[in-house]
């Protein structure tokens, strides 16, 4: 650290961005909820089909 104080230039022309432009794009909850629901439905369907396959009597 030096003992002499230096004059710092301060930029007072700070530009504040509009909140509409600065806000991150929001994801619509309906789309994410639908996506989650479809994923759950697919997993349940797969589980149901695996159970049917395991219970199937191949000797018929």
Domain ranges of the chain: 28-55
Listed residue (33, 31, 36, 56) closest to 44, CA to CA: 36
- Between residues 28 and 6, which one has the greater pLDDT? 28
Mean pLDDT over residues 21-47, rounded?
86
pLDDT in tens, 38-50: 999 999 999 999 9
Q: Return the half-sphere exposure (C-beta side, CA atoms, 13 A cut-off) of residue 5.
A: 2
pTM of the model as a whole: 0.47
Question: Which CA distances in Å does 51 have to 4, 57, 59?
Answer: 80, 12, 17
pLDDT over threshold 90, residue 9: no
Question: Which CA distances in Å does 15 have to 8, 21, 22, 27?
Answer: 19, 13, 12, 28
């Amino acid at each position: 650290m030096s003992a002499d104080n230096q004059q710092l230039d301060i930029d007072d022309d700070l530009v504040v961005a509009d909140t509409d432009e600065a806000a991150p794009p929001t994801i619509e909850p309906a789309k994410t909820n639908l996506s989650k629901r479809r994923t759950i439905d697919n997993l349940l369907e797969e589980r149901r089909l695996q159970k049917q396959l395991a219970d199937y009597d191949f000797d018929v």
